[in-house]
Amino acid sequence: TPPVPGRPALFPSLPSLPVLLSAVCAALFALITWQVLDGGPLLTPDQELSRALVRAVPDAVTERLADLGNVEVAVPVLVAAMAYAVRRGHRLAALAAGLAMALVPALIVPLKEWTARPGPLEPWAAGYYPSGHTATALTAYTAAALLLTPHTRRRWPLPTAAALTALTAAGLLLRGFHWPLDVLASLLMCTPLLLGVRWAVSYGRPGRQRRGIRWGKRARGSGSTRSRSGGARVR
């Protein structure tokens, strides 16, 4: 009964920002996948943009950039960050990062076989949607940055991960390895996975758990004081 601080129980709390962002990413990913399967109108500007970008930069440069999304390049970075996180006692965060990376091929491979989209320079081939290199780069570099950020004084890991992912995507598009929608779909698909890693990193901080325990003790103490004072008034 009033007076009670906080939101009334009759009004449920709104979804948090990560949940809303994940829902938006899932909806956009479903829209793009539907367009790819049915040959929808989104494919026309997608193909025109690809034709304007391909060969704009020498292949020797774009291939090097695209190689940043290779498994043998990106995954060892994540493995090193996971080992460091485990050493610092953040096993939950390391586990979440490894699970996110493992889900990438589990999602990408069936989607490639299902959609069977041909490539910009290889119309006779299939299996270009979504981009596996983009998904690998985004997940590996960003998850590694999330694991390292709590232990660095400066916020350089996340901007570095964003730059590496952007360079990978640029190399794929300029070289003609993928359509723009292939890259965008991978970004949308992996964002909810990385939001889960971010939650695990923030939840698994030892300092945060200790602060929560101390706060609980103070809250119980203050509550008992209020009840005693309230009881004195009633008597």
Angle, helix 180-203 to helix 43-53, in steps of 10 degrees: 100
Q: Please, what is the average pLDDT of the chain?
A: 85
Q: pTM for this one?
A: 0.81
Q: What domain range is 25 assigned to?
A: 18-207
Domain presence at residue 2:
no
Q: Is residue 212 part of a domain?
A: no
Domain assignment of residue 225, yes or no: no
Spatial contact of 127 and 113, defined as CB atoms under 8 Å apart: yes
User: Mind listing the pLDDT tens digit for each residue in 180-225?
Assistant: 999 999 999 999 999 999 999 988 665 554 343 333 444 444 444 4
Residues 121-163 pLDDT 10s: 988 889 999 999 999 999 999 999 999 999 888 889 999 999 9
Closest CA to 136 of 178, 176, 83: 178
**Residue 232, domain member (yes or no):** no
User: What is d(CA 103, CA 82) in angstroms, rounded to the nearest whole number?
Assistant: 16
Is the Cβ–Cβ distance between 23 and 89 less than 8 Å? no
Average pLDDT over residues 59-66: 93
Mean pLDDT of 51-63: 90
pLDDT of residue 72: 97
Residue 6 clears pLDDT 70, i.e. is over it: no
Residues 199-225: b if buried by 16+ CB within 10 A, e if exposed: bbbeebbeeeeeeeeeeeeeeeeeeee
In angstroms, the CA 174 to CA 162 distance is: 18
What pLDDT was estimated at residue 14? Answer: 46
4 lies in some domain: no
* pLDDT confidence band for 61 (50 / 70 / 90): very high
Q: Determine what percent of the chain is predicted with pLDDT higher than 70.
A: 80
Tally of structural domains, the chain: 1
Residue 42, domain member (yes or no): yes
CB 151 within 8 A of CB 90: no
110 within some domain: yes
Mean pLDDT computed over 34-60: 93
Instruction: Tell me, yes or no, whether 77 lies in a domain.
Output: yes
As a whole number of angstroms, the distance between CA 66 and CA 73 comes to 11
